[in-house]
Amino acid sequence: MAQKEQKKERKPSSRIRFNIIDLVIVIALLACVAGIYLRYNFGEQYGVEHELAQYEITFEVTNIRYTSVDAFPEGDAVYLKNGGKYLGSILGIDSTTPSEMIYTDLSGNIIQIYYPENSRIDLVGRLLASGTMTAGGFMLDGNTHLAAGTAYAVQTPHIDVTLVITDISPANANP
């Protein structure tokens, strides 16, 4: 009988205990909620929100058929192929040059040749895009990072190509 009474006395208490680990978890959750709130409301409350402006993006497309220049009419929309995000509208094609090819001959000499006229070309053009310039670079529509020297797969209503951004400047800076 004495053993039964001891077992009854050892019953675990049903009250909830609060220890230091629980306190750390609660503080971490509160910090997460505060971070999310500040992330989405900081700009509105403190006037840091950037207004979008018009920027001119200079780009280069290499080694395309000479007839592909016609696939870049002024005003056509250009979209990033990955995700379909609107990049901007074509302002024009500034120049075209014959594409070059560099190869090594059997003697080990590096030879640079150009494709014949009406064959393969490189073109340089400009886009009008909306975004903001930050310390980290250009943000397309405020949320997609673009950088000079980077290649992007793009599509227009007429052609899919890979272009390399060579410069990003405010639209009013270029006459």
CA distance 175 to 171: 8
Comparing 29-38, 84-93, 140-149, 166-175, which segment has the lowest mean pLDDT?
A: 166-175
- Which secondary-structure segment (H or E) carries 137? strand 137-140
The total number of residues shown for the chain amounts to 175
Share above pLDDT 70 across residues of the chain, in percent, rounded to a whole number: 83
CA distance 160 to 149: 19
CA distance 85 to 145: 12
Residue ranges of the domains in the chain? Answer: 18-49, 53-173
Closest CA to 97 of 74, 112, 119, 76: 119
pLDDT tens profile 36-52: 877 666 655 444 455 78
What is residue 25's three-state secondary structure? Answer: helix
Q: What is the pTM of this model?
A: 0.66
pLDDT tens profile 49-65: 557 889 999 999 999 99
C-alpha distances (whole Å) from 151 to each of 45, 59, 80, 131 are 37, 9, 11, 18
The model's confidence at residue 9, banded by pLDDT at 50, 70 and 90, is low
